[in-house]
Structure 1
């Protein structure tokens, strides 16, 4: 998010017309967790509140991999650096471009704000966690997308009050409503929305970061 105290804007891009998943839609930067993301060191990790909310109704230890994936996907799709100065001894292949900038990932400013599991019957399903971070936390120029891959086009900061004019997936609209509600807040929410679809029913739950009981 940018201009939180004025006219808030969020960074989005458009998927290609030939994309197998959500073609032509405007989406947030993001993607799948790679197998090696769990092993990426995070000198500055997620807050304990975000970690606890992520791991409620999830596999223990997943929060670190999710945070690393968020930093990596942001870099790959937009060229934006969420990191602090530091050197890597031997970065994994997927992280070499990021490492070449002279930064190590910094997850401390990520705020976990939404989780969604898409309904059954879709060509592709996902269990997605959405993070919010202030543009001020970036170590790069927020208007420089020269290092971005070609996965997203028309990368831009879109004002929240103009987003309705763009072609968005339904779940993105739902998440944006939560983001808009949090635009004036900088604290970790007491609970996080969880839109869960499974074979039996669709539920709109809240994650509070409480330990699961067997």
Structure 2
């Protein structure tokens, strides 16, 4: 019998039509400069309607300006090919840039290379003011997940992964950090935290992929209450 997963967001009011998922991206940063591998995570504010008080990876909705933002490097050919196979080639660059931008906004960390300070528009203005340009070549695709249809706020999220060595600096920029707490956490430490179900799955997938880079990249979606998994 299928088990309905615990909701991490506001339920869809009875009788309402299913909400169309919004494009979103998240970034799992891997740090290896200690005895144990660590990942960057943060705790969401208790006032959030979606996943309050849960520990998550930096991420959020794709912004219209993400498609047009400048970058120091472009996505690796195999990443572009993966998006093309999944009919998402038009979103590939925007999603990757969204993951990098949200990591800066939520954690104050830049996956970027030094560059002259330049003016920017909208959500990218603070990032470009740091004297840096996004480093898209640092990203690889880890997984994709679509929020269940019985939740009022739905996201079609692409999860990227990158090494912390690709950060411009491991010191957080001031006046950044939308997450209440931010920390580099070992997988056993993360297991003891209140994680959304999908975050727990993605963390396990990241660890498994570090051991076996040839494993298929999963895509999680729901048919009714049943979670379905396929390969990207």
TM-score for both structures, normalised by structure 1: 0.87
1:69 pairs with one of 98, 102, 109: 98
- Name the counterpart of 1:39: 68
Is residue 2:196 matched to residue 1:169? yes
Q: Distance in 2 between matches of 1:57 and 1:180?
A: 24
- Name the counterpart of 2:12: none
The within-5 A match list for 1:97-176 is: 97-140=126-169, 142-144=170-172, 146-149=174-177, 151-176=178-203
TM-score for both structures, normalised by structure 2: 0.80
Which deviations, in whole Å up to 9, do the C-alpha atoms of 1:113-158 show, x marking residues without a partner? 0100111111211110111111110002x24353423x20110000
Q: Distance in 1 between matches of 2:208 and 2:33?
A: 11
Q: 1:54, CA displacement in angstroms?
A: 2.7
Which deviations, in whole Å up to 9, do the C-alpha atoms of 1:89-112 show, x marking residues without a partner? 541121111111111111111111
RMSD: 2.1
Which deviations, in whole Å up to 9, do the C-alpha atoms of 1:48-95 show, x marking residues without a partner? 111222333333321100111111101111110111122365411211
- Name the counterpart of 2:40: 11
Q: Distance in 2 between matches of 1:24 and 1:94?
A: 25
Runs of at least 5 residues in structure 1 that lack an aligned partner in the other structure: 208-214
- Name the counterpart of 1:86: 115
- Name the counterpart of 1:194: 219
Residue-pair matches, total: 203
